Amino acid sequence: MNKIMSETLNSIDPEIYDLTKKELKRQRVHIELIASENFVPRSLLEIQGSILTNKYAEGYPHKKYYGGCEFVEVIEEIAVKRACELFGSDHANVQPHAGASANQAVFFATVNPGDTVLSMKLDHGGHLSHGHPVNFSGRFYNIVAYGVSRETETIDYDEVERLAKESKPKLIIAGASAYPRFIDFARFRSIADEVGAVLLVDMAHIAGLVAGGVHPNPTPYSDFVSSTSHKTLRGTRGAFVLCKKEYAQTLDRTVFPGMQGGPLVQSIAGKAVTFLLAGTEEFKEYSAQVVKNAKVLAKCLTERGFRLVSGGTDNHLILLDVRSRNVTGKEGEILLGEVGITTNKNMIPFDPAKPMVTSGVRLGTAAITTRGMKEPEMEVISDAIERVLSNPQNENIKKEVKAHMAALAEGFPLYPELVEPWVN
């Protein structure tokens, strides 16, 4: 074999190697509060970096378009079976590469261009792929959007029902990327039934909480459930779709050959292991702690004078209105980033600021819970957030908080056994 096949990344491409090493260091010393991020277990780093990346496996188990699929098709069957068992679904497709393509698959399986779809507004907590005008979903379909009530900042189900009766959507989407409260899946089911619509629940954010039994499971109420595998579910990066039996064939045909070619076999294997891990007692404890941590962080921030969208949280996510500190969401993200707390700016409902500015910062507790942090650390983190956002110009405070956050992170080592940014 020639040299290229056996040389290390470090000697082949020092530039990319160096940046990946820096990213490992960043992950180790920062307090990760991005609500959609997490840290995968070592076993998932192993599978993701495995030789499975070499294999083409277009098609489905026992109907593959390539030879040599005798092992990878069993991996896919196991992933499908585990997904169905974990969430109580009739069928699963584990091939979608990402959450947006999982949603796209459900659109293609259920509606035609021009059909009406009822979904949640992005700036009230929805997702780009649920119908935003710049996304395929908003460009090709007639989107009718619901939001949250101005008073409670929670979904106004009567409004959803009114809009559904008025617009007669073929597809209704529930699920969000910045909504801190439980969603009433039973109510969505009854609204969908009333108007004869198909119901898709996008559970990407909450999938780990659902698997861990600390969040209502949308599967019994939905025709389709889409999800990513890497948020609270703590798996390798990717996505999957669950559906009722009657949609199984259509969904599979839509994903392949409708939208995708070769699936990422290493990612499918990663999902199989992810589903296995998510069924363990240890995962149940983790998911319960994610919610406990979010509730404590919410309480501590409220006590420090912050306004939280909807007044609190039922899940892993908090939407912080930062206007009380006279900073924008954009400034908040930058200020917190400067002290080693990673977050993202986010629109709050009825936000007067532009999407690239915003009045909110979105926080999530999945990643810090994976590192082992508990209630006392939430108090410490809320203090840090308060000090930095209340003193945006004070460089001494920033320096102090940065050192404090790095020390906190060090107390909860991330991948301590890894020398390189992968398993070796």
Task: Report the catalytic residues.
Answer: 56, 58, 202, 228, 231, 237
Give least dist CB 121 to ligand DSN, A.
15
Q: Residue 102 or 277: which CB sits closer to ligand DSN?
A: 102
- Using alpha carbons only, what angle is made at residue 152 by residues 170 and 305, rounded to the nearest 5 degrees? 135
| Site for ligand DSN, residues 349 to 388, rule: CB under 6 A | none
Is there binding between residue 135 and ligand DSN (CB under 6 A)? no
Provide the b/e sequence for 217-230 (b: ≥16 CB within 10 Å): bbbebbbbbbbbbb
Is there binding between residue 41 and ligand DSN (CB under 6 A)? no
Q: Residue 73 or 123: which CB sits closer to ligand DSN?
A: 123
Q: Residue 220 or 337: which CB sits closer to ligand DSN?
A: 337
| Site for ligand DSN, residues 64 to 83, rule: CB under 6 A | none
Of the candidates 22, 23, 30, the residue with the CA atom closest to the CA atom of residue 339: 30
**DSSP one-letter string for 317-350:** EEEEE-GGGT--HHHHHHHHHHTTEE-EEE--TT
Give least dist CB 36 to ligand DSN, A.
3
Residue 117 φ/ψ, nearest 5 degrees? -130, 135
Q: Residue 99 or 147: which CB sits closer to ligand DSN?
A: 99
Radius of gyration (C-alpha) of the chain in whole angstroms: 22
Please work out the total of residues on this chain that contact ligand DSN, with binding judged by CB under 6 A: 4
> Given candidates 96, 99, 212, 360, which one binds ligand DSN under the rule CB under 6 A?
99
Query: What is the spatial distance between Cα 50 and Cα 40, in angstroms, rounded to a whole number?
Result: 15
Give least dist CB 99 to ligand DSN, A.
6
Is there binding between residue 346 and ligand DSN (CB under 6 A)? no
Is there binding between residue 274 and ligand DSN (CB under 6 A)? no
The interface mask with ligand DSN, positions 202-241, x = CB under 6 A, is: --x-------------------------------------
Pairing of β 307-308 and β 317-321: antiparallel
Query: What is the spatial distance between Cα 235 and Cα 278, in angstroms, rounded to a whole number?
Result: 9
Is there binding between residue 177 and ligand DSN (CB under 6 A)? yes
Query: What is the spatial distance between Cα 178 and Cα 185, in angstroms, rounded to a whole number?
Result: 17
Residue 92 φ/ψ, nearest 5 degrees? -140, 140
Give least dist CB 293 to ligand DSN, A.
18
Residue 69 φ/ψ, nearest 5 degrees? -95, 10
- By beta-carbon distance, which residue lies closest to ligand DSN? 36
Give least dist CB 128 to ligand DSN, A.
6
Is there binding between residue 343 and ligand DSN (CB under 6 A)? no
Q: Residue 99 or 235: which CB sits closer to ligand DSN?
A: 99
Write out the two tokens for 342: 């990673």
Is there binding between residue 36 and ligand DSN (CB under 6 A)? yes
Q: Residue 69 or 317: which CB sits closer to ligand DSN?
A: 317
Give least dist CB 133 to ligand DSN, A.
16
Contacts 24+ apart (CB under 8 A), 378-384: 378/293, 378/296, 378/297, 378/300, 379/296, 379/300, 380/404, 380/408, 381/31, 381/33, 381/297, 381/341, 381/405, 381/408, 382/297, 382/300, 382/301, 382/303, 382/304, 383/300, 383/304, 384/31, 384/339, 384/341
Given the rule CB under 6 A, which residues bind ligand DSN?
A: 36, 99, 177, 204
